[in-house]
Structure 1
Amino acid sequence: MQIQKLSITAFRPIILACFLVCISLLHYLTPLHLPYLHDIFQRLYYLPIILAALWFGLRGGLICSILVSIAYAPHLLFQWGGHLTLEMEKYLEIMLYNIVGGVTGLLSQRERERTVELQKTARGLEESYQKLQNQSERIIIIEEQLRRAEKLSTLGEMAAVLAHEIRNPLGSIRGTAEILKDDYKPGDPKQEFIDIQIKETERLNRVVEDFLHMARPQPADMQLCPIQEELETIVALLSNDARGRQISLVLKPASAPVIISADGEKLRQAFLNIIINSLQATPPGGSVTITTTPYEAGSCEICFRDSGPGIDAETMDRIFEPFFTTKPDGTGLGLAITKKIIESHGGTMQVESEVGHGTIVNVILPMQNASDGGLR
């Protein structure tokens, strides 16, 4: 589009020159006994003058009007004999050429300058709108973080009470159930009920444990941590589970060593949660792929991609809410804990999904230079 505009602009002087030459030839080649044609031809000179003024502003209009005057003057002086009293209006026409060229060029130039100013104003308004939109999005994110922090604060206050009021009775219930279990032979219906009781106490205890991890920030043991090695360890642990589900679990090699400052145990917990969720969401014959990409900006991206059924928009809006789950035996705290761990390491966690096209979890973490310290 820009090249086409430049090519049209380059042809404009040629167009003006053609007009000027053609009109002048009509003047010089038309017999003098046809004055009405000469009156028409001398009016045609306004066409290139006005075009030049519109295209090139004040300078273009004046230059074109001067060239028209120079082209028209010999015809007036030599062919018409230069009778000043008889052809005064023709001399005034030359003056009018220059007045029209100057005035039209000045108006065109001012209009062009005004257009440029309006375009600058429009760009400024667009930039201001974009800044306001970015600030609005930031405010929404901050408000969401504040709401989450308020939830966590409330959970923290409840955690100590729940730990004392639930875990101790759970231990007593489980111990009593295990003692009663010994009184019944295998296959007895009552023993089956006791097994259910033990499993439910274990599940409830797991909920309390997850709740405590969510509500109470644990002290971090930050060390230099090679991401690829951590992922290899987790993949090795889950490889049997993946084979049992008939799912291909693939860890692709990183293009360069990726080392971050992290609490290895917590980071493993976060990655483990993500991969287990991916395996549980992927049907038999599907795949879960993990890739690590280091960036020059000093960060790395760990991408977990599964070929599951995807997540609908309504569920996507709530996946990080504590206690929200779509699994019958889930606690709804896994992803919330995972996100909290990632953010405590200065990173971000994003989930992209489309129904029928699988889910992608992107974790971005700041990298650590190997020269900053050794592995401990």
Structure 2
Amino acid sequence: MSTLAKSSGSRKKMFTIIAMIAVISSLHLLFPHDFSRTHVVARELYFLPVILSAFWFGLRGALLTSLSITAFYFTYSVFHWQGFSPDDLDRLLEIFFFNAVAVITGFLQDSQRAHAREKLESVKALAATVGHEINSPLFVAMGNVELLQDDFDEDSEAYSELEGIYVSLKEIKVLVKKISLIEEVVTRDYDGTTRIVDFTKSKKETTPFTAQPFTDQ
């Protein structure tokens, strides 16, 4: 996925979070305070943008969302303060839960992402190692095939067989290049029961290459 696409997706997610907070907050402003059930439902709906922001943006995004909600809802509670009545305490407790849920879900999401990054770095290191280890003997084999071809006429059967070997080695070279260009692991369905790495979508987009027929989906 390109940086531009990721940026556009992040903006859409941010707009979604802001829109949800605005709509839920408007319910508190539009309905009179006597509509207690409506306000309770609207208050519980605040957990939706908090949890979504945690999954989309991690701990930092979840806290920004919960603190924004806290700023509005605490102000709303102060304007309707009833001298530490059960309703007042209930609203204060909900404010605490907004932020507690934000911290817990955001922390868990950040931990999961960190673990995924570690796995990705391991895969990239393994791919680079495999590419390096295969490239050395591959170049030697390709060079030897070219030297052997010099000993035969181009219209001879031996030359044709060596040419077939050389083409196969070039395909392996392209495959090794694809492996070395892995930036993220994107999989695709292979036979309905197995998923394999999609090299076209997993590669670094700064270094394009031509996809081979055997990668067709």
Fold conserved between structures, TM > 0.5: yes
The 2-side partners of 1:12 and 1:90 are apart by 27
> Sequence identity of aligned pairs in percent?
24
Deviations 1:162-218 (A, max 9, x none): xxxxxxxxxxxxxxxxxxxxxxxxxxxxxxxxxxxxxxxxxxxxxxxxxxxxxxxxx
- Higher share of residues assigned helix: 2
The 1-side partners of 2:162 and 2:95 are apart by 79
Q: CA deviation at 1:76?
A: 1.6
Aligned residue in 1 for 2:170: none
Aligned residue in 2 for 1:89: 90
Q: CA deviation at 1:40?
A: 0.9
Determine which structure has greater relative contact order: mean sequence separation of CA pairs < 8 Å that are 6+ residues apart, divided by chain length.
2
Aligned residue in 2 for 1:131: 132
Aligned residue in 1 for 2:51: 50
Q: CA deviation at 1:138?
A: 5.2
Aligned residue in 2 for 1:120: 121
In structure 2, list runs of 5 or more residues that go unmatched.
168-217
Q: CA deviation at 1:32?
A: 2.5
Normalised by the length of structure 2, the TM-score is 0.63
- Higher share of residues assigned strand: 1
Aligned residue in 2 for 1:72: 73
The letter of the residue matching 2:82 is G
The letter of the residue matching 1:33 is D
Q: CA deviation at 1:132?
A: 2.4
Q: CA deviation at 1:34?
A: 2.3
In structure 1, list runs of 5 or more residues that go unmatched.
149-269, 282-310, 320-349, 353-376
Determine if contact 1:16/1:52 at 8 Å carries over to the other structure.
Answer: yes
Q: SS where residue 26 of structure 1 aligns?
A: helix
Q: CA deviation at 1:91?
A: 0.7
Deviations 1:9-34 (A, max 9, x none): 12322221111111111012112232
Instruction: Identify if the C-alpha distance between structure 1 residues 351 and 115 changes in structure 2 by more than 3 Å, giving closer, same or farther.
Output: closer
Cα-Cα RMSD: 3.1
Deviations 1:28-65 (A, max 9, x none): 21122321211111011011111222222211111111
Aligned residue in 2 for 1:59: 60
Determine if contact 1:76/1:82 at 8 Å carries over to the other structure.
Answer: no
Instruction: Identify if the C-alpha distance between structure 1 residues 318 and 35 changes in structure 2 by more than 3 Å, giving closer, same or farther.
Output: closer
Instruction: Identify if the C-alpha distance between structure 1 residues 37 and 138 changes in structure 2 by more than 3 Å, giving closer, same or farther.
Output: same
Deviations 1:291-347 (A, max 9, x none): xxxxxxxxxxxxxxxxxxxx66x652369xxxxxxxxxxxxxxxxxxxxxxxxxxxx
Q: Does 1:317 align with 2:161?
A: yes
Bigger Rg, structure 1 or 2: 1
Q: CA deviation at 1:139?
A: 6.6
Determine if contact 1:53/1:105 at 8 Å carries over to the other structure.
Answer: yes
Q: CA deviation at 1:94?
A: 0.2
The letter of the residue matching 1:36 is R
Determine if contact 1:20/1:45 at 8 Å carries over to the other structure.
Answer: yes
Q: CA deviation at 1:117?
A: 1.4
Instruction: Identify if the C-alpha distance between structure 1 residues 125 and 318 changes in structure 2 by more than 3 Å, giving closer, same or farther.
Output: closer
The 1-side partners of 2:92 and 2:75 are apart by 12
